[in-house]
Amino acid sequence: MNAILKISFTLASVIIGIGISTTALASEIADIIYHNGTILTINDAQPRAEAVAVKNGKILTVGAEKDIFKSKGDATKLIDLGGHTMLPGFVDAHGHVMGGGLQALSANLLAPPDGEVKDIASLQQTLRDWMAGNDVAVKKIGLVVGFGYDNSQLAELRHPVREDLDAVTKEVPIVLIHQSGHIISVNSKALEVGGITAETPNPTGGVIQRSEDGKEPNGVLEETAAFPLLIKLLGRVGPEGSATFARAGAELWARFGYTTAQDGRTMPGALKTFTAVAAAGDLKIDVVSYPDVLVARDAIKQEVSQTYKNHFRVGGAKLTIDGSPQGFTAWRDRPYYKPVGNYPPGYAGYAAATPEQVGDAIDWAFANNIQILTHSNGEAASDQLIAYISASTRKHGAGDRRPVLIHGQFLREDQVDSLNSLGIMPSLFPMHTFYWGDWHREHTVGPVLADNISPTGWCVKRGMRFSTHHDAPVAFPDSMRVLDATVTRRSRSGDIIGPDQRVDVMTALKAMTISPAWQHFEEDVKGSIETGKLADFVILDKDPTSVDPETLDQICLLYTSDAADEYQRV
């Protein structure tokens, strides 16, 4: 009997305790309540809600409006969604914030619909116009920068060469960054600054394109031939210029609804810049950095953290195995279909790092329990990644390191099976279906394999978690275009690139929210609208799940932030 009484007393205590806890929760007064709209929580246990209460920057409660309004006080700010749609803030699975800031401040050489460059002549005029509008900066820094030209979209179907840029100016170095970010085109003055001559050999993992005689550099530099000169030239902007790029990049991401941005492949100088900008309080959204594992290993080990400091942290390491699929520098397991340019028979691209570098970097990351994100586009590059991840897993154990494959444009289906079995998360780039789907079909992989670029459908078929990204500044960090491309896979010409690889809207939204939050080890605080998580929200003018999928890219971002009025898209 005493035992029964004791158990009864214990149960009563638990019940009373629960009652006290519930009463305390109900008595909490919200700072903000969002209501009168569609709320997509990205939480399978509660997919939709009528209202959300926020307190101290975190979600207090989610549910029916009548219940949420119980936490309303005299000082509670009510935000009427006006029938619009609220989602968790988008989490950037892969991008380059510093490069995005550079893009925002340089000459826009993008093709329509993001720019006006259609041929070499319009490219030259865009540069002249930009120089005229930025004459003070050009004179002060001694540099002209253009971003986003794409030879596949130029009428001439070629890269601009030194003679094209010399026609704009021979006095000041010009550097144009290809939309892929893996190739640059420069004028004669820039080649002079870099000391690149006919006698300069191709570096390992890079190519100096030559004139028809095969000797003189024509101004187009690929991969490791491009990066040293690019870094040297951009160094002219100095610390304040770099800080301006960092701030502008974070602001650009925020305007497209990203409340967490990524800077993939951060270089040591940029890492110092981000740290300084964050310390000054100039980052308004979270930025997670993945420094280049081949040049910043000590900094990665010293700085890696799961905690943001002034909206900035180092999340792990970035490795790059190959290059650009649309630029024909991705490393394939077979020849390119019909490459445009001066390529030898059987050309299949090339590796941007040696096998020793790749194997050592992955082993180091596993040995130190550091997450590694690996850029791999071609099949041969992904074969190498899978082999080294497999070897390191056997050596060090699987653990919870969450290795990520970035891009994987030309994955084979057997490679997707290997990613699944090894626990490698694919972060895919479906925007390629819009920007370069036609190009892939006609020139890189051909009409059959083009259907399987960015194979989101294969991932869904296997129940795999995957994220999607924009790789800005390769493309603008346009969240709605990411969503549209993942769902419709419609190219510039209107063709559907791989109908079997399309996914539904909710799956696509998860790949932009909860899945990249998991990718960054932040699924407990971001990626869905749930009690206790950060109040990172985005408000859209329409519900993506209820519109014609063909109009997803027309949805407008209204606000993003925890107060719904910090950023407004214009």
Residue of 550, 551, 527 lying closest to 537 (CA atoms): 527
Q: Are 218 and 164 in contact (CB under 8 A)?
A: no
Counting every residue written for the chain, the total comes to: 570
pLDDT of residue 22: 33
- Give the torsion sign (CA, 42, 47, 53, 58): negative
Ramachandran angles phi, psi of 198, nearest 5°: -60, -25
Let me know if 126 is exposed, middle or buried by CB neighbors in 10 A (0-12, 13-18, 19+).
buried
Phi, psi angles (nearest 5°) of residue 151: -60, -25
The predicted structure's pLDDT at residue 92: 98
Cα separation, 429 vs 326, whole angstroms = 13
- Residue 514 burial (C-beta neighbours within 10 Å; 0-12, 13-18, 19+): buried
CA dist 229 and 219 (Å) reads 11
Residue 130 tokens, joined? 């930009």
- Per the DSSP assignment, residues forming a β-bridge with 40 are 48
CA distance 564 to 264: 28
Tell me the C-alpha distance between 568 and 570, whole Å.
6
Distance from C-alpha of 407 to C-alpha of 415, rounded to nearest angstrom: 13
Cα→Cα distances 541→20, 62, 85, 281, 504, Å: 40, 21, 6, 30, 20
d(CA 274, CA 265): 13
Residue ranges of the chain that CATH labels 2.30.40.10: 2-80
Residue 267 to residue 230: CA distance in whole angstroms: 12
What's the rounded Cα separation, in Å, for the pair 538 and 552?
A: 15
Say which residues have a Cβ less than 8 Å from residue 508's Cβ, sequence separation at least 6.
456, 468, 483, 486, 487
Q: Classify residue 303 by burial, with Cβ atoms within 10 Å: 0-12, 13-18, 19+.
A: middle
Distance CA 242, CA 280 (A): 14
How distant, in Å, are the alpha carbons of 28, 57, 363, 506, 525 from that of 531?
Answer: 13, 11, 38, 21, 9
Residue 27 pLDDT: 63
Helix/strand/coil (H/E/C) assignment for every residue in 193-230:
HHCCCCCCCCCCCEEEEECCCCCCEEEEEEECCCHHHH
The CATH T-level fold of domain 2-80 is Urease, subunit C; domain 1 (2.30.40)
Query: According to CATH, where is 3.10.310.70 located in the chain?
Result: 97-237
- Amino acid at position 477, single letter: P
Q: Smallest Cα–Cα separation from 93: which of 475, 525, 505, 427?
A: 427
The confidence score (pLDDT) of residue 137 equals 85
Q: Which amino acid type is present at position 512?
A: M
Q: Provide the pLDDT for residue 562.
A: 53
CATH (one of 3.10.310.70, 3.30.450.40, 3.40.1710.10, 3.30.1600.10) for 97-237: 3.10.310.70
319 with 294: CB under 8 angstroms? Answer: yes
Per-residue pLDDT of the chain (570 residues; tens, 9 = 90+): 333 333 232 333 332 333 333 333 446 999 999 999 999 999 999 999 999 999 999 999 999 999 999 999 999 999 999 999 999 999 999 999 999 988 888 999 999 999 999 999 999 999 999 999 999 889 989 999 999 999 999 999 999 999 999 999 999 999 999 998 999 999 999 999 999 999 999 999 999 999 988 889 999 999 999 999 999 999 899 999 899 999 999 999 999 999 999 999 999 999 999 999 999 999 999 999 999 999 999 999 999 999 999 999 999 999 999 999 999 999 999 999 999 999 999 999 999 999 999 999 999 999 999 999 999 999 999 999 999 999 999 999 989 999 999 999 999 999 999 999 999 999 999 999 999 999 999 999 999 999 999 999 999 999 999 999 999 999 899 999 999 999 999 999 999 999 999 999 999 999 999 999 999 999 999 999 999 999 999 999 999 999 999 999 999 999 886 544 444 443
Tell me how crowded residue 84 is: count the other CB atoms within 10 A of its CB.
17
Q: What is the pLDDT of residue 570?
A: 34
**Cα dihedral angle (510, 516, 517, 523), rounded to 10 degrees?**
70
What residue has token string 């029916």? Answer: 64
Tokens of 341: 């340019």
Angle between the 268-279 and 97-105 helix axes, to the nearest 10 degrees? 80
Contact 467, 42 (CB under 8 A): no
Is 498:489 a contact under the CB 8 Å cutoff? yes
Q: How far apart are CA 300 and CA 351, in angstroms?
A: 24
**DSSP state letters, 248-300:** HHHHHHHHTTEEEEEEEEE-HHHHHHHHHHHHTT---SEEEEEEBTTT-HHHH
**What is the residue-wise DSSP string for 387-452?**
HHHHHHHHHH--TT---EEEE-TT--HHHHHHHHHHTPEEEE-THHHHHTHHHIIIIISHHHHGGG
